[in-house]
Structure 1
Amino acid sequence: MSETAPIRFFLGSNSPQGFVSRFDQLDYGDPQWHTFYIKGGPGCGKSSFMKRLATVFENRCPLMEQIPCSSDPDSLDAVIFPEWKVSIADATAPHALEPKYPGLSESILSFGDFLDPLKIKPYGETIRLISQTTSKNYSQAIDCLAAAKSFLNDSHRIALSSLNPQKLNAYAKHFSYKNFPKKPGRGKEKVRFLSAINAEGIVSLASTVRSLCQDICFISDDWGAASSLFLSALRSHALENGQDVITCYCPLSPHTKIDHLILPELGLAFLTENRFHDLSGLIDQPTLISQRHIHAKRFLDLDSLRRHKKRLSFNQKAAAQMIAQAVYLLSENKELHDQLEQIYLSAMDFSMMDDVLESVVAQMIDFKIAREGSSLL
């Protein structure tokens, strides 16, 4: 594993269906896990608190995952501490979380307790107006993403009609046989997003791949049809061979279309490359042991695609314009949200945050001692 950058993934994304949350992945499906849920409004210090906690454990948790906010990657929505079997997350909308087993598996940190409501009363009209405007903007942004998906789906269908599935599946099987060593049992899967659509555009956390892998296979696919099927086949073969995988879905098709696949134990990643996935920061990196490139055209009937050239080009441009309009609306919301944070920030008393941090750190240590039956240095 490289140490060039922290491990960062999104666990949610704006999509044509609205906000899609995969915060069900916080505990790795382990019943011994404990998750801290932070409750509190904007500007209540949730992200800053998680950053401080991450700093405390950065040298004691090499596998730590930082989960940036998909709407504002400079903020954190969660931090996962695998070695400690602990997570901490912003449990407010749009990824609202409630304890299933209070005290046993989850604890609530209520940062709203440090807010003086009398100090925000004078801003009532402004707060309500911001809330109404952001709601309207978000609804329009989602409509734009739905329109973009419609255009891309049309291109996807055209590409599928030109695809040779037998050739693709045979290649995936051969590739897996050569590169995925057989291990006992079935592999485990984590679901993540490596990119998200927000006020900055289509934001990629591709540097995470450099942290986990030194062998990257770029799959060049303008239409995303062959790459998704190829990655789906690789995923199945890897899991059957006992290899753990991190499956990264497309924000526009967050439940069905795989954009990227990572096999951390093998230090191997498969990344879809096209105009909607800027991977320029990874290509030809000297820190990588090897790079491979697979072109989707090897599985496609190019003559068939050429007959749809104008339509495919139109779909690409129209989808890009719809995404750009969604980004514009989301950028307006980001500015409004920043104003809202400033209002709440001025009403917060952060003097008790050090005590809360100390308490969470102590609990994490106690949980590990109770679980492992030994003291920690």
Structure 2
Amino acid sequence: MSTIKHYFPGGNTSKGFVNYFDGIVAPWVVNKRIYVLKGGPGVGKNTFMKLFGKKMFEAGFNLEYFHCASDVNSLDAVHIPEVGVTMLDGTAPHVIDPVTPGAIDGIINLGTYLNEKELAHKSDEILSLSLDNKGYYKSTFAYLAGAGELETNSDYFYMNALDYDELRCEVQDFFGTSELKLGRNRGEMRKLFSEAYTPQGFINYEDSIFDGYKVTLLTGPSIIASEYMKLAIHFALFMGYGCQIFYSALLPDKVKHLVIEDLDLCITTSDTAKDKADQVVDLLSLLDPIKLEKYQDTFEFNELYRKQLVEAGIGSLKKAKKVHDDMELIYREYMDFEGVDVFTQKFVDDFMTDL
């Protein structure tokens, strides 16, 4: 039975918009064809990708859907690993252009169905909306930056309470070396998000990560779990294993989940994995309890205001989406959607015939 895994290739973070679009195609997957969709807002790129994905799913292929952090109901990309085909949105804020146009990469420009001459009469309105959208994103990133600073401050104190040598020993004991074989390929990384702050709230697709793997749950502060997984990544890459690394929505350098396919293993910090966990590693035991008690007031203060700033950031994202929706309505007035529908259906039919 076909499956669909859901990820985010980019995120609204404390560091601004961070994209891991290079992770849409894992480095150990051979990609035969990449289609880059172009055109303005509301021209049908999302509908195009969803129809393509639907037909491929019905044909029995496993899919990977990459959702947009600015609107979780929209797709940034669709990837079909079995046939080595990727379709992605190449417009701002993640502008992508073909590297080998005509050979591997192809452009699908839905903007050709846009009546640009008539749309030009709306240029002042579009510009005004664009400036509003930009302003709301500035607010979002300011709030998330503040939230990130508070979490980073707590992380500093957690790290100060950690016995790092004991952490290294934990990772060494977890893997051991006697029965492990070298990987078939050189160690490579695929970086993505499983979670994101969106106008619809905090969205998490971590179930897409757990399925099909032995799950090890790390309990304790997230920064300690991240350090554990970073040590595990170094070891896995040394052994020649491929690593899928999923980062925090707020702090895009902090690891939340790690998948090592060669070992059929998922290491995670998620409490929702409790019922699925084959093993639990308690990292809290590696921290000095006296220091933790000393810092407790700081932890509580930081967490209280971190949550408030994150909520403010999500509120600004909602305002930005409303502006973007208004902009899409303008573009749709001047789109030949009948032409887009005919082109989309023909493209999908021809693609399925050539498989």
Q: TM-score by structure 1 length?
A: 0.85
Q: Does the CA-based 8 Å contact 1:182-1:242 persist in structure 2?
A: no
Equivalent residue letter for 1:107: G
C-alpha RMSD over aligned residues: 2.5
Residue 307 in structure 1 maps to residue 314 in structure 2: no
Partner of 1:217: 216
Number of residue equivalences: 352
Q: Deviations over 1:39-66 (max 9, x none)?
A: 1111111111101111111155644211
Q: Could you tell me how far 1:103 is from its partner in structure 2? A: 1.2
Q: Does the CA-based 8 Å contact 1:13-1:19 persist in structure 2?
A: yes
Counterpart mapping for 1:100-179 below 5 A: 100-177=99-176
Q: Could you tell me how far 1:296 is from its partner in structure 2? A: 2.4
Q: Could you tell me how far 1:162 is from its partner in structure 2? A: 0.6
Cα distance change on mapping 1:83 and 1:238 into 2, 3 Å = same
Q: Does the CA-based 8 Å contact 2:219-2:269 persist in structure 1?
A: yes
Q: Deviations over 1:180-228 (max 9, x none)?
A: 8423443432111111112233211122124343x32222233x22101
Partner of 2:204: 204
Distance in 1 between residues matched to 2:209 and 2:183, nearest whole Å: 26
Q: Does the CA-based 8 Å contact 1:200-1:331 persist in structure 2?
A: yes
Q: Could you tell me how far 1:86 is from its partner in structure 2? A: 1.6
Partner of 1:271: 268
Match of 1:332 among 308, 314, 319: 319
Secondary structure at the counterpart of residue 166 of structure 2: helix
Partner of 1:370: none
Partner of 2:347: 359
Distance in 1 between residues matched to 2:178 and 2:279, nearest whole Å: 13
Q: Does the CA-based 8 Å contact 1:36-1:87 persist in structure 2?
A: yes
Equivalent residue letter for 1:113: T
Secondary structure at the counterpart of residue 8 of structure 2: coil
Distance in 1 between residues matched to 2:281 and 2:181, nearest whole Å: 23
Q: Does the CA-based 8 Å contact 1:7-1:212 persist in structure 2?
A: no
Distance in 2 between residues matched to 1:226 and 1:26, nearest whole Å: 27
Equivalent residue letter for 2:285: R
Q: TM-score by structure 2 length?
A: 0.90
Q: Does the CA-based 8 Å contact 1:61-1:83 persist in structure 2?
A: no
Match of 2:232 among 227, 231, 234: 234
Q: Could you tell me how far 1:99 is from its partner in structure 2? A: 1.7
Q: Does the CA-based 8 Å contact 2:14-2:145 persist in structure 1?
A: yes
Q: Could you tell me how far 1:340 is from its partner in structure 2? A: 1.7
Distance in 1 between residues matched to 2:120 and 2:250, nearest whole Å: 39
Mean alpha-carbon deviation: is it higher for 303-312 or for 337-346? Answer: 337-346
Q: Percent identity?
A: 26
Distance in 2 between residues matched to 1:182 and 1:63, nearest whole Å: 28
Partner of 1:348: 335
Distance in 2 between residues matched to 1:120 and 1:28, nearest whole Å: 39
Partner of 1:276: none
Secondary structure at the counterpart of residue 53 of structure 1: helix
Equivalent residue letter for 2:298: R
- Structure 1 spans left out of the alignment, 5+ residues: 274-278, 367-375
Q: Could you tell me how far 1:346 is from its partner in structure 2? A: 2.7
Secondary structure at the counterpart of residue 191 of structure 1: strand
Distance in 2 between residues matched to 1:90 and 1:61, nearest whole Å: 24
Cα distance change on mapping 1:240 and 1:63 into 2, 3 Å = farther
Secondary structure at the counterpart of residue 44 of structure 1: coil
Distance in 1 between residues matched to 2:189 and 2:161, nearest whole Å: 31
Distance in 1 between residues matched to 2:40 and 2:121, nearest whole Å: 17
Cα distance change on mapping 1:28 and 1:54 into 2, 3 Å = same
Cα distance change on mapping 1:90 and 1:32 into 2, 3 Å = closer
Distance in 2 between residues matched to 1:62 and 1:116, nearest whole Å: 36
Q: Could you tell me how far 1:143 is from its partner in structure 2? A: 1.1
Secondary structure at the counterpart of residue 224 of structure 2: helix
Equivalent residue letter for 1:321: Q
Q: Could you tell me how far 1:360 is from its partner in structure 2? A: 5.6
Secondary structure at the counterpart of residue 307 of structure 1: helix
Q: Does the CA-based 8 Å contact 2:67-2:73 persist in structure 1?
A: yes
Distance in 1 between residues matched to 2:348 and 2:106, nearest whole Å: 10
Partner of 2:6: 8
- Structure 2 spans left out of the alignment, 5+ residues: none
